């Protein structure tokens, strides 16, 4: 059995490790979704949830809401259009913006998911994470806030001045 270096190296490989765990969690989440017979990707859910919460959003707002870049939001929105879960139309006051809204089918999926799938996923993840003393969600929030305040490159830099 080979040593898990990412784990061994601790803070040094924190980025790789978070990504790795995130990918694993999302794959597991996908399994729950698939077992429920829903045809949607785990990564597409936050888009629907964002529109459900805030009403129709533009591509740029969706990107912000789910925390990815605009081209990623464009692509996923295109997929959701194909699937018939969202509709898109130019904003009346600004032809550059595209307002993305839920279709009836999309709203139904969201409503059903809120009742059946999302609580189950949240409970399973809480079961996985929540039993430890430190409240991990708050820690993640603090990390995100910390990164916004100062990126790694500005933290504990090598002393360059005398």
**Residues at the site binding DNA, with contacts judged by CB under 7 A:** 16, 23, 27, 41, 43, 58-61, 68-72, 74-77, 79, 88, 93-98
The count of chain residues that interact with its own copies, using the rule CB under 8 A, is 81
Q: Tell me the closest approach of the beta carbon of residue 67 to DNA, in angstroms.
A: 7
Binding mask 112-151 vs its own copies (x if CB under 8 A, - otherwise)? ----x-x-xxxxxxxxxxx-xxxxxxxxxxxxx-xx---x
Tokens of 54: 């805030």
Pick one of DNA, its own copies, none as the site partner of residue 31 (Cβ within 5 to 8 A by kind): its own copies
Q: What is the DSSP letter of 153?
A: G
Strands annotated E in 66-116 = 86-90, 98-102
Is residue 49 within the footprint of its own copies (CB under 8 A)? yes
Residues 69-108 that bind its own copies (CB under 8 A): none
Distance CA 78, CA 56 (A): 15
Burial 46-57 (b: 16+ CB within 10 A, else e): ebbbbbbeeebb
């Amino acid at each position: 059995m080979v040593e898990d270096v990412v784990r061994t190296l601790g803070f040094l490989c924190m980025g790789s490790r978070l990504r790795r765990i995130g990918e694993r969690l999302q794959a597991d989440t996908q399994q729950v979704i698939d077992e429920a017979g829903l045809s949607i990707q785990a990564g597409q859910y936050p888009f629907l949830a964002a529109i459900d919460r805030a009403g129709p959003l533009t591509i740029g707002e969706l990107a912000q809401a789910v925390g990815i870049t605009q081209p990623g939001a464009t692509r996923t929105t295109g997929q959701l259009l194909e699937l018939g879960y969202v509709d898109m139309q130019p904003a009346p006051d600004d032809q550059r913006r595209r307002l993305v809204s839920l279709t009836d089918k999309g709203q139904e999926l969201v409503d059903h998911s809120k009742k059946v799938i999302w609580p189950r996923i949240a409970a399973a993840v809480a079961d996985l994470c929540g039993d430890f003393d430190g409240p991990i969600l708050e820690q993640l929030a603090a990390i995100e806030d910390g990164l916004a305040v100062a990126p790694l490159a500005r933290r504990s830099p090598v002393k360059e001045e005398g």
